[in-house]
């Protein structure tokens, strides 16, 4: 691996990028996907984070142009030079230019009549090495080798040479950061440990203020409705699926200003909503509240404190998180069967 003179690099580890001009050879989303994959190859090996913005003032501007295109390095028509990039710096620094006279594709492939490699991922990955501060490597297996690597089958990834080069400039991925976050989650000293918890596919997702922590475990998929104030959202695959809805559509009285916790019990087709010292039971089949609710929690949930912060269902039990503890409630025996410190859910 090699560097530019004086080893220029980005001071800030959060680097913005934008795609100023696309190629007509590929769908826009395929260009973006190829660029994202190329960026990920470098961010996986470093503490760098890449953020896409729609602004030409981004640190790295990608564009497709032909022949003379505003810098002193005109392209040469089909074949030959496919792209070039500039070392880290202001203005054009870091920018990546692709030769529009090539035929760009998403897959690794050879454009036989032009005898040129035209797959955007491998070319973008190479040029990004320049944008981050690497010049050409003499190692034929390196992405930074001047001629784009002939990787028609092997999974495209950085070679050891590329990794050693880029980590000389920026260091390795933020293991420290991960442990920091980990220790941070264990330092949780809030009186109320969690605001809400839900299950998303096979992961338990805890919410606290602006944090959320995913814990993977062997659990049945369950469904909860994390509610905030008098609004609720339906989330599917972590994409906001619906506009904010009103909890009053569920039949809550107008006095209710927020829902503390919710848990669905599929065996009965019922969803429990906990509001202050009371709870409601909602019939998902009839899509309305069961009559005779709200009722006091302490009257019906033996062993559970007066208020509930968060609730979720796991392997046949309902877990109610109150303050710093979690109560495993067996809804068949109608009693608490276990009390577990809240932090233990976070591996603390």
Partner 1 sequence: FYTPRPKRPDLNSSSQQDYLKRFYSLNLGDHRPPVRSVRSASTMEEKIQEMQNFFGLKETGNMDPHTLNVMKEARCGDPDVDN
Which residues are the active-site residues?
127
Whole-number Å distance between alpha carbons of 264 and 129: 50
Looking at the Cβ atoms of 145 and 293, the one nearer to partner 1 is 145
The single residue among 10, 62, 64, 75 that binds partner 1, judged by CB under 8 A, is 75
Token pair in block for residue 173: 């991925």
Site for partner 1 contains 273 (CB under 8 A) = no
Q: Which residue has the tokens 């420290």?
A: 176
Q: Is 112 in the site for partner 1 (CB under 8 A)?
A: no
Piece of 121-129, 189-197, 206-214, 255-263 that binds partner 1 (CB under 8 A): 121-129
Decide whether 147 or 179 has the Cβ nearer to partner 1.
147
C-alpha atoms less than 13 angstroms from C-alpha of 50 in its C-beta half-sphere: 24
Tell me how far apart the 2 most distant CA atoms of the chain are, in Å.
Answer: 81
Question: Could you give the CA distance from residue 17 to residue 32 in angstroms, rounded to a whole number?
Answer: 11
116 binds partner 1 (CB under 8 A): yes
Q: With CB under 8 A as the contact rule, which of the stretches 31-39, 57-65, 67-75, 337-345 interacts with partner 1?
A: 67-75
Of 143, 153, 150, 156, the residue nearest 117 (C-alpha): 150
Instruction: Closer to partner 1 by CB, 79 or 323: give it.
Output: 79
Q: Does 313 bind partner 1 (CB under 8 A)?
A: no
Q: What span, in angstroms and rounded, lies between the C-alpha atoms of 313 and 262?
A: 10
User: Length of the chain in residues, anyone?
Assistant: 348
Site for partner 1 in 82-111 (CB under 8 A): 82-85, 87, 99
- The Cα 329–Cα 298 span in angstroms is 13
Give least dist CB 94 to partner 1, A: 13
CA terminus-to-terminus distance, the chain: 42
Q: Given the complex with partner 1, which of 28 and 67 has the nearer CB atom? A: 67
Side-chain-side CA neighbours of residue 313 (13 Å): 20
> Rule CB under 8 A: is residue 136 a binding residue for partner 1?
yes
Q: What's the min distance (Å) between Cβ of 130 and partner 1?
A: 6
Q: How far is the CB of 4 from partner 1 (least distance, A)?
A: 6
Does residue 68 belong to the site contacting partner 1 (CB under 8 A)?
yes
Which of 26, 42, 126, 280 is in the footprint of partner 1 by CB under 8 A? 126
- Told to check if 62 binds partner 1 by CB under 8 A, we report no
Structure tokens at 152: 């028609």
Residue 100 contacts residue 118 (beta carbons within 8 Å):
no
What does the alpha-carbon distance between residue 214 and residue 24 come to, in Å, rounded to a whole number? Answer: 40
Kindly write down the DSSP assignment for every residue of 244-278, as one continuous string: -EEGGGGT--TT-----EEEEETTTTEEEEEETTE
CB atoms within 10 A of CB 147: 10
Smallest distance from partner 1 to CB 136, Å:
5
Strands 335-341 and 325-330: antiparallel
Indicate which single residue of 22, 148, 282, 312 sits in contact with partner 1 (rule: CB under 8 A).
Answer: 148
The span of 29-37, 120-128, 213-221, 232-240 binding partner 1 (CB under 8 A) equals 120-128
Of these, 10, 117, 273, 329, which contacts partner 1 (CB under 8 A)?
A: 117
Separation in Å, CA 329 to CA 226, 296, 297, 305, 319: 20, 16, 13, 12, 6
In the complex with partner 1, which residue's Cβ is closer, 144 or 322? Answer: 144
By CB under 8 A, residue 64 contacts partner 1? no
Among 80, 229, 316, 341, which residue interacts with partner 1 (rule: CB under 8 A)? 80
- Distances 157 to 34, 38, 116, 126, 162 between C-alpha atoms, Å: 13, 9, 20, 11, 9
Q: Which is nearer to partner 1, 138 or 258 (CB)?
A: 138
Interface contacts to partner 1, rule CB under 8 A: 4, 67-68, 72-76, 79-85, 87, 99, 115-118, 123, 126-127, 130, 135-136, 138, 140, 146-148
């Amino acid at each position: 691996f090699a560097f530019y003179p004086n080893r220029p690099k980005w001071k800030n580890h959060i680097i913005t990028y934008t795609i100023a001009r696309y190629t007509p050879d590929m769908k826009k989303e395929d260009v973006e996907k190829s660029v994202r994959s190329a960026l990920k190859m470098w961010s996986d090996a470093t503490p760098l984070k890449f953020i896409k913005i729609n602004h030409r003032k981004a640190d790295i501007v990608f564009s497709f142009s032909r022949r003379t295109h505003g810098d002193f390095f005109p392209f040469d028509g089909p074949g030959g030079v496919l792209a070039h990039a500039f070392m880290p710096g202001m203005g054009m620094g870091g920018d990546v230019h692709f030769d529009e006279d090539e035929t760009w594709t998403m897959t690794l492939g050879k454009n036989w009549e032009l005898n040129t490699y035209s797959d955007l991922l491998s070319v973008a990955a190479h040029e990004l090495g320049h944008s981050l501060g690497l010049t050409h490597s003499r190692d034929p297996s390196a992405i930074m080798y001047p001629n784009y690597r002939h990787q028609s089958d092997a999974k495209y990834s950085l070679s050891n040479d590329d990794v050693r080069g880029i980590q000389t400039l920026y260091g390795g991925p933020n293991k420290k950061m991960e442990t920091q976050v980990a220790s941070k989650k264990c330092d949780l000293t809030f009186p109320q440990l969690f605001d809400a918890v839900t299950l998303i596919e096979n992961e338990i997702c805890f919410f606290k203020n602006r944090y959320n922590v995913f814990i993977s475990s062997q659990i049945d998929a369950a469904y909860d409705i994390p509610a905030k104030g008098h609004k609720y959202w339906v989330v599917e695959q972590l994409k906001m699926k619906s506009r904010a809805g009103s909890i009053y559509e569920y039949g809550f009285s107008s006095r209710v200003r927020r829902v503390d916790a919710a848990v669905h019990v599929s065996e009965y087709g019922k969803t429990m909503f906990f509001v202050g010292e009371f709870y409601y039971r909602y019939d998902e089949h009839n899509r309305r509240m069961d009559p005779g609710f709200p009722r006091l929690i302490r009257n019906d949930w033996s062993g559970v404190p007066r208020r509930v912060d968060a609730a979720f269902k796991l392997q046949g039990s309902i877990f109610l998180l109150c303050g710093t503890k979690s109560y495993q409630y067996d809804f068949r025996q109608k009693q608490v069967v276990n009390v577990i410190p809240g932090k233990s859910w976070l591996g603390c």
